[in-house]
Amino acid sequence: MSQHIVSSFDRDLEAVQAMVVKMGGLVEAQLLDAAQALETRDEELAETVRGRDKAVDKLEEQINEEAARLIALRSPAASDLRVALSVIKISGSLERVGDYSKNIAKRTQVLSQMPTISGSAGAIRRMAQAVEGMLKDAIDSYIQRDEKLAADVRSRDIEVDQMYNALFREFLTYMLEDPRNITACMHLHFIAKNIERMGDLATGIAEQVIYLVTGEMPDEDRPKSDSVTLDKVED
Amino acid sequence: MSQHIVSSFDRDLEAVQAMVVKMGGLVEAQLLDAAQALETRDEELAETVRGRDKAVDKLEEQINEEAARLIALRSPAASDLRVALSVIKISGSLERVGDYSKNIAKRTQVLSQMPTISGSAGAIRRMAQAVEGMLKDAIDSYIQRDEKLAADVRSRDIEVDQMYNALFREFLTYMLEDPRNITACMHLHFIAKNIERMGDLATGIAEQVIYLVTGEMPDEDRPKSDSVTLDKVED
């Protein structure tokens, strides 16, 4: 910002980006609260998470409207247009992260009626914390156009994949041990999968940042966990 | 188009929309081929589906670039801008449908090494056909700005949800019956879930059309299946 004259476009963009930061913060809180509700079997907190998703959706709508208004009003040139369009992509990703948190909250309410699968909720919470950190840094890297921080987010996705793989094996063991665990484990497995997907979405935001800064999307062969379980067949 | 003078914006828009139609056709073929490969245990076809996903991604990139060029070049007013932005949203949804097909193809290759779960692949193919029809009509409704067809697509999502619910119960039964079925059933369950999500994405495109035509998003309480299984906790 300090290197060139601040234009009307830049000022308007800053306002939209502030909304993206706000949306990021809300979505991070949703994820952490959803994971906590799961661990403490707090149905009330789960209900709060479900209700708050409307605010996330509303924010995405507002951001899209503002970005469209910005484009219409300022008719930005190619590189600025790319930035304005990235706002739409990023808020779309955050909205999906919000949806997954809401889904976790719904499953938490169902799981509260079932036998506990020992240790799993704690492992899921740790996974959620790792992904929350990725989301936070992805948004930060976006605001600061920090390519290095974005690359760091991208590389951390491998840890989340490993956590997911470990959980998948654990759930399979519990199901084989006792068929009465099957339904609970399937819900927990979907929750773990949803968090793993949030990690992918944070990585996607980081890749947008790299694209904005360098003009090129990073290589396809992003670091992936070596441990190939039968289930790790995403993308 | 016949009601007003055809502008440069309209002509450019038509070119981008033709790319969306092409992308839709490709993505529909990917879904049908993935379902067929699953049913006939055709690993070669599954490999073809996986390879072709690159073309889907490429098309999305091109569409986004063209839409951005269109916006930059024509500086469209509010309503035209909304149309140009909808192109980006729709191609984003189609890209996700493509990703899910690729994922089905990957799981098919894993499932080919496992015992068959009787009847399930046929049921999944029928579900895929229903969703393919929804996708086709969603794109048609977009090109023709046909609000009625879009509403029809939206209402058909309930059938897909019901098919998914039936499959979910079936997989649960197979798993409880014989623990050796668990791994295969979990893959099949993910496949069914992916197709159900594609139905949601087709519905999302239809809702974009309704928004474009009427200026308002349809009510939140879109028709949902009454049959609430433990798993039906999406959105």
Angle at A53 between CA A201 and CA A197, to 5 degrees: 20
**Residues of chain A contacting residue B60, judged by C-beta atoms under 8 Å apart:** none
Mean pLDDT along residues A151-156: 97
Residue A24 has pLDDT above 60, yes or no: yes
Domain count, chain B: 1
Question: Does residue B27 lie in a domain region?
Answer: yes
How does DSSP assign A69-93, residue by residue?
HHHHHH---HHHHHHHHHHHHHHHH
**pLDDT band for position B17 (cuts 50, 70, 90):** very high
Q: What distances in angstroms separate CA B93 from CA A17, B38, B89, one per listed residue? A: 24, 23, 6
**Which one is predicted more confidently, B87 or B229?**
B87
Residue A78 has pLDDT above 80, yes or no: no
Print the SS3 string covering B168-234: HHHHHHHHHHCHHHHHHHHHHHHHHHHHHHHHHHHHHHHHHHHHHHHCCCCCCCCCCCCCCCCCCCC
pLDDT at B5: 66
- Cβ atoms A39, A122 nearer than 8 A: yes
Q: Does B15 touch chain A (CB under 8 A)?
A: no
pLDDT at A4: 57
ipTM attached to this prediction: 0.72
The domain spanning residue A16 has which CATH number? 1.20.58.220
**Residues of chain A contacting residue B78, judged by C-beta atoms under 8 Å apart:** 68, 72
**Which one is predicted more confidently, A177 or A219?**
A177
**pLDDT band for position A225 (cuts 50, 70, 90):** very low
CA nearest to A60, candidates A28, A101, A19 = A19
Number of Cβ within a 10 Å radius of residue A94: 28
Do A175 and B189 make contact, defined as CB atoms within 8 angstroms? no
pLDDT at B37: 97
Question: Does residue B220 lie in a domain region?
Answer: no
Mean pLDDT of chain B: 88
Percent of chain A with pLDDT over 90: 63
pLDDT at A5: 67
| Span of A31-40, A224-233, B202-211 with lowest mean pLDDT | A224-233
Q: Which of residues 150-189 of A touch B (CB under 8 A)?
A: 172, 175-176, 179, 182-183, 186-187, 189
Question: Does residue B109 lie in a domain region?
Answer: yes
**pLDDT band for position A20 (cuts 50, 70, 90):** very high
Mean pLDDT of chain A: 88
One-letter amino acid at B161 equals: D
**pLDDT band for position A9 (cuts 50, 70, 90):** confident
Residue-wise pLDDT tens digits, B164-220: 999 988 998 898 888 889 889 989 999 999 999 999 999 999 999 998 998 887 865
Question: Does residue A220 lie in a domain region?
Answer: no
**Residues of chain B contacting residue A71, judged by C-beta atoms under 8 Å apart:** 71, 81
**pLDDT band for position B138 (cuts 50, 70, 90):** very high
Question: Does residue B85 lie in a domain region?
Answer: yes
Residue B24 has pLDDT above 90, yes or no: yes
CA nearest to A153, candidates A174, A133, A179 = A133
Residue B1 has pLDDT above 60, yes or no: no
Residue A2 has pLDDT above 90, yes or no: no
Residue-wise pLDDT tens digits, A170-206: 998 898 888 889 889 989 999 999 999 999 999 999 9
- Residue B77 C-beta-side C-alpha neighbours within 13 Å: 2
Mean pLDDT along residues A43-50: 97
Residue B4 has pLDDT above 60, yes or no: no
Q: Strand runs (DSSP E) across chain B, as ranges?
A: none
Mean pLDDT along residues A150-177: 93
Question: Does residue B227 lie in a domain region?
Answer: no
Q: Does B79 touch chain A (CB under 8 A)?
A: no
**Which one is predicted more confidently, A2 or A5?**
A5
Domain of B139?
A: 8-214
Residue B208 CA to residue A24 CA, distance in Å, equals 24
| Span of A68-82, A159-173, B102-116, B188-202 with lowest mean pLDDT | A68-82
pLDDT at B74: 82
Residue among B89, B190, B233 minimizing CB distance to A110:
B233
Mean pLDDT along residues B74-85: 82
- Residue listed under structure tokens 């484009």: A71
Mean pLDDT along residues B101-117: 93
Q: Which of residues 85-124 of B touch A (CB under 8 A)?
A: 85, 88-89, 92, 99, 102-103, 106-107, 110
pLDDT at B231: 46
Among B16, B53, B69, B85, most A C-beta atoms within 10 A, so best to mutate, is: B85
Residue among A68, A106, A235 minimizing CB distance to B81:
A68
Do B107 and A233 make contact, defined as CB atoms within 8 angstroms? yes
pLDDT at A194: 93
CA-based nearest distance B176→chain A, Å: 6
Residue B63 has pLDDT above 50, yes or no: yes
Please tell me whether residue A212 adopts helix, strand or coil conformation: helix
Question: Does residue A13 lie in a domain region?
Answer: yes
Return all residues near B165 (Cβ < 8 A) that are at least 6 apart. Answer: B225, B227, B229, B231, B232
